[in-house]
Structure 1
Amino acid sequence: MFEIRRATSDDAQIAFDIRRLAIRHQCVGAYTEQQMFDWTKGSAEDGYDTLMDKHFYVGCVEGKPVATGMLDLAHREIGAIFIHPDFMHCGLGKRVLCFLEDLARDLGLTEVCLDATMNAADFYRRCGYVGEEPAIYHSPSGLRLACVPMVRKL
């Protein structure tokens, strides 16, 4: 059974760990080893923990956190969708995305955007997102990564 719940500050490190595992598993070939290392180094206390104060959610299978996702209401942006490698290709990414889109609708948004990683752009296109032009994502830590900015009308 898969359930999505609001994250708490206690979820910060496990959310960070899911992110690290997902990136290092799923982004091979889309980014260099060094980029993936730089992107995933550190710990939740390096700033990732502050995301728990936003509309940040954890997806759990039998109570165990295995997925994350976030809605940044101020920027109309969906992000931080990461699935633990042991649970990839089970439809959980789609379920988290639909949950966040429903939340965005409930909060009055008519459109959402996201910066897709190079390996995830096709997934988002299949989910109705539009965007083709690559761009550079500038992370808060100063890392620069190729991405595809995308939008979807709700």
Structure 2
Amino acid sequence: MFEIRRANHSDSQTAFTIRLLAIRHQCIGAYSEAQLLAWTAGAAEDGYYSLMEKHFYLGCIEGEPVATGMLDFENGEIGAIFVHPGYVHRGIGRKVLDHLECLARNLGLKEVKLDATLNAADFYRRYGFTGEETAIYHSPSGLQLACVPMVKRLILV
């Protein structure tokens, strides 16, 4: 059974590991090996621990975390959607995205934005996000990666 739950500080290493594995598996070809290594360097303590204080969620199968996602409410931004490589192509990323969009609607946001990795832009387009131009994402660690800034208007219900 799949469920989504709010992450807590004790989940930071698990979330960081899912991120690392997803980047190294799903971003091959979209970024150079040097970029992938730099992007996945470091440890959970370098910043993921503090992310758990935001609207950070884990997608779990039978209680085991297999995906992550976050809503930065202040900036109206969705991020950190990563699916463990052993669970891709099962609709899990879509479920996490739907959950975050629902949360954004419930919090009164009229739109959400994100910076899609080059390999994920088509995924987000399938679910209503728009954006074509490539830009440079500047990570907190100083890494610069090509991305596609995207936006989706939310229909409030």
TM-score norm. by structure 2 comes to: 0.97
Offset at residue 78 of structure 1 (A): 0.2
Task: Describe the SS at the equivalent of 1:131.
Answer: coil
Structure 2: tracts of 5 or more residues without a match: none
Q: CA RMSD in A?
A: 0.4
The letter for the 2-side match of 1:61 is: I
Counterpart CA distance in 1 for 2:88 and 2:23 is 12
1:71-110 → structure 2 map (5 Å cutoff) = 71-110=71-110
2:83 counterpart letter in structure 1: I
Answer yes or no: is 1:42 the counterpart of 2:14.
no
Q: Deviations over 1:48-75 (max 9, x none)?
A: 1110000000010000000000000000
Q: CA deviation at 1:11?
A: 0.3
Equivalence for 1:8: 8
Instruction: Return structure 1 stretches of 4+ with deviation > 6 angstroms.
Output: none
- Give the 3-state SS of the residue equivalent to 1:53 in structure 2: coil
User: Does the alignment pair 1:53 with 2:61?
Assistant: no
**Partners in 2 of 1:30 and 1:116 — Cα distance?**
12
Q: CA deviation at 1:108?
A: 0.4
In structure 1, list runs of 5 or more residues that go unmatched.
none
Task: Tell me the distance in 2 between the aligned counterparts of 1:49 and 1:143.
Answer: 19
Identity percentage of aligned residues = 69
Q: Aligned residue pairs: how many?
A: 154
Which SS does the other structure have where 2:14 is aligned?
A: helix
Q: Counterparts of 1:85 and 1:124 in 2: how far apart (Å)? A: 18
What is the identity, as a one-letter code, of the residue corresponding to 1:33? E
2 CA distance for matches of 1:47 and 1:99?
Answer: 23
In structure 1, distance between residues paired with 2:109 and 2:120:
23
Deviation of residue 109 (structure 1)?
0.3
